[in-house]
Structure 1
């Protein structure tokens, strides 16, 4: 189907058409009263490049590159504050490892949202869980973009991604913002999810979701647009992530369904467990070829890479009991309220050639699934994930590697004094095995109030870091990132 920007935007949430209600400013003291106050603390300025101090081990031979990460880092202003963790201004971090040394730099994405709110000294833009303010000036979804969810290197540019608008383009060396990426003039401002699926040869697939429609983006490795087509969805589920095999797109439609066009965005959804979860499989070569599978109800944010197992399809999911964390928990986190929700647990989905689907649940606590990017869409056995979350602590304290062929999980816990971010896999030069490389990612040391960078051997993750560096600042938790060597 040829996409109509006007029709698609009508189906999506029109940010500028939201109802405005008064909103109280949350006190930063409430946030600081929790054990994890630093996790959602405000960063007041960019972080200049500086060397990190090696405090454990040594950098592995052959490990050279940069880890880019993105996440919200400014939530509160005197005139008004954001009401949801997902609505803070995006801060892109760069951890560079070279010649055995590590360095850190961080810079806020210079969005129209941030410029306007800096001028007003108030958070006025609508968001996932934040009501708009009458002072908000919104001409397109990009005006409200926090650019705070993930980051990808595309054709020599660094793209900071949100969900409801265009990629923000940064210089990968200086982290300076260059503006928004327009993939085609008539598609300016169209949604572009924060979780594109990148094939081993670099081709990029992504979705942009608006109600019961989705834009299917196909980009060349250099970021140029190859195709953009709209497909119909069986229902208007919340879609933060999707997955893909080498030949199919796999779109999971959880029973958190948009039933009202209201703001904030999250308030328009209802949990309808009785409707179960649906999985839409679309052929990459012919978007009109599709199948729908039925599964029991579960909520989710993140999926692992899918692959074809004979005529079947398999993929893993970090399955939540429902989407209470999105609707309520992430608001409480940024406002310093203790939580009582259940953490996500790993599950494996199998979609059969006979039309039947199964969900194999485990007791393994895990979120932020990653794997060897060289195997994206291809058969694999390992999932890298965070670990250590509990009902009263919605942040990870460790890292795990689950082997689906044996059911065994090996992991390392940094302890209650650390909040561990997603870790990514960096292949060892010349290595081909799925675990022949390193896991790289930061943690927030709550005790010493600093950010640390860790490198673990993927094949011996239970032995802990082979190298740890410490910065001279404490940065709040981030969401997603990418490694480039």
Structure 2
């Protein structure tokens, strides 16, 4: 089916316009030692040199770590009601010649400009109701560009999941504007988790109810193809995965039930329906198979691969339900501990008999990822965060799960840190999966600053080999990527 905005988008329908009357007063009403993770950043962070406070800089480590996440939630005239709805702040950690630098800028979106003018957060979002003052002409008017960031061609793309990519300058972080991949596809949804093949080709989805547009882009971001496909049901889809030959779309039993806003109120948890996994041939989007699996909720998947007997495997961080999406992430913004267990790491196996089976690793984990050079190929390791607990819903540790040995190794920074997702950076001249540095930031809560760490993946339990410290603190980000120089 050829996609068009008319046939695909019904986003303007059923906006529940209700004013925010109480949130600002109750924001952060419960103090917590991790409240810096959802604190407001009032403006861009000018470039600065970080202070090395531990260890030695690994030889040959050179590049930039880009991260994206919400960093402005509260304004005097009204505030966001959900962690996922703050304005996107794109961070750039540079490492070159043994020195580390930091700069950060907000994506200059129509949403941010309008809310700055009103001095109120008025746009609807994942868990935030619209304010009557919101002026909405298209879905990109509410796009916070706040979830992930990828280098595509000569630009950074700051991604959300329900609207267009936002292009930014990779050096200055200056906003260039929304990306329109084809004029008739303007403002179509583009998930924040594209799957990138080792040669750079980009696959992505844009989801609306029980249909999705499948995007296929060249490495430089040029559109190669876009096609709408039907889905077996209207599950909430934040992430998908892919093998070398197939797209793998997990359809959890959190199902769209009503056209209302905010998004989190439109879904029902229906565990009796189980989880379905739709597998689609990349070369023929009509060639598909549906696998049945036990009910679980999820946000994030690792890369998938296929084995010689037709089995497909991928890692997933499973939730017992999606209460975190509906309520827990709102509680985090308020500084309230969660009442439910965190996500747990598992390996999903799709068998030729049409069944999907979960093998749990035993670790409370999130943000699974691996070696980008092995995207779509068999791999041994999963990199992820660790240490989330109901009374402390943000990670304190980084972990590496070895699926061959059935063991998870990790390093816990302790309760004085909030750990962001870290990335896999291959060591120069080496090709082994574990021959890599793990690079990522934490919030040092006691010092009130952000730190940047480098760990050896093969000896992750030894902790950082090098740490730099900033003179500012940034809230927790969601996702990011490394660009080598």
- Residue 32 of structure 1: how far off its partner (Å): 6.8
Alignment of 1:389-404 (within 5 A): 389-404=388-403
1:367 aligned partner: 366
Count of residue pairs the alignment pairs up: 482
Contact 1:147/1:162 (CA < 8 Å) preserved in 2? yes
Paired with 1:453 and 1:27, the residues of 2 have a C-alpha distance of: 34
Paired with 1:27 and 1:382, the residues of 2 have a C-alpha distance of: 45
SS of the counterpart of 1:27? helix
Contact 1:245/1:377 (CA < 8 Å) preserved in 2? yes
Contact 1:28/1:76 (CA < 8 Å) preserved in 2? no
Whether 1:405 aligns to 2:432 is: no
Paired with 2:364 and 2:195, the residues of 1 have a C-alpha distance of: 24
Contact 2:316/2:345 (CA < 8 Å) preserved in 1? yes
Whether 1:440 aligns to 2:439 is: yes
Contact 1:341/1:392 (CA < 8 Å) preserved in 2? no
1:200 aligned partner: 198
Which deviations, in whole Å up to 9, do the C-alpha atoms of 1:420-470 show, x marking residues without a partner? 000000011111000111000000011110000000011110110000000
SS of the counterpart of 2:23? coil
1:386 aligned partner: 385
Displaced runs of 4 or more, over 3 A: none
1:170 aligned partner: 168
Paired with 1:382 and 1:258, the residues of 2 have a C-alpha distance of: 34
1:455 aligned partner: 454
2:147 aligned partner: 149
1:268 aligned partner: 266
Alignment of 1:308-387 (within 5 A): 308-310=306-308, 311-387=310-386
1:22 aligned partner: 19
Paired with 1:224 and 1:105, the residues of 2 have a C-alpha distance of: 28
Which deviations, in whole Å up to 9, do the C-alpha atoms of 1:169-226 show, x marking residues without a partner? 0000100000000000000000000000000000000000000000000000000000
2:418 aligned partner: 419
- Residue 362 of structure 1: how far off its partner (Å): 2.9
Paired with 1:383 and 1:27, the residues of 2 have a C-alpha distance of: 41
Match of 2:177 among 173, 176, 179: 179
Alignment of 1:280-319 (within 5 A): 280-310=278-308, 311-319=310-318
SS of the counterpart of 1:30? coil
- Residue 20 of structure 1: how far off its partner (Å): 1.1
Contact 1:170/1:179 (CA < 8 Å) preserved in 2? yes
Which deviations, in whole Å up to 9, do the C-alpha atoms of 1:240-291 show, x marking residues without a partner? 0000000000000000001000011110001001100000000000000000
Paired with 1:406 and 1:51, the residues of 2 have a C-alpha distance of: 41
Which deviations, in whole Å up to 9, do the C-alpha atoms of 1:344-390 show, x marking residues without a partner? 11111111123232111232111000100000000101000000111
1:214 aligned partner: 212
2:427 aligned partner: 428
2:227 aligned partner: 229
Paired with 1:434 and 1:63, the residues of 2 have a C-alpha distance of: 17
- Residue 393 of structure 1: how far off its partner (Å): 1.1
- Residue 31 of structure 1: how far off its partner (Å): 5.2
Contact 1:25/1:78 (CA < 8 Å) preserved in 2? no
- Summarize the Cα distance change of 1:31–1:195 in structure 2 as closer, same or farther, 3 Å threshold: farther
Paired with 1:4 and 1:74, the residues of 2 have a C-alpha distance of: 33
Paired with 2:412 and 2:249, the residues of 1 have a C-alpha distance of: 32
- Summarize the Cα distance change of 1:27–1:453 in structure 2 as closer, same or farther, 3 Å threshold: farther
Paired with 2:242 and 2:29, the residues of 1 have a C-alpha distance of: 38
- Residue 29 of structure 1: how far off its partner (Å): 6.3
- Residue 341 of structure 1: how far off its partner (Å): 1.5
Q: RMSD of the TM alignment (CA)? A: 1.0
Match of 1:158 among 150, 156, 159: 156
Paired with 2:28 and 2:4, the residues of 1 have a C-alpha distance of: 46
- Unaligned regions of 5+ residues in structure 1, if any? none
Contact 2:454/2:467 (CA < 8 Å) preserved in 1? yes
2:2 aligned partner: 2
Which deviations, in whole Å up to 9, do the C-alpha atoms of 1:306-339 show, x marking residues without a partner? 0001211000100011111000000111122222
- Greater alpha carbon shift after TM alignment, 437-446 vs 356-365: 356-365
Paired with 2:225 and 2:29, the residues of 1 have a C-alpha distance of: 45
Return the TM-score normalized by structure 1: 0.98
Contact 1:102/1:469 (CA < 8 Å) preserved in 2? yes
Contact 1:31/1:334 (CA < 8 Å) preserved in 2? no
Paired with 1:60 and 1:357, the residues of 2 have a C-alpha distance of: 42
1:79 aligned partner: 77
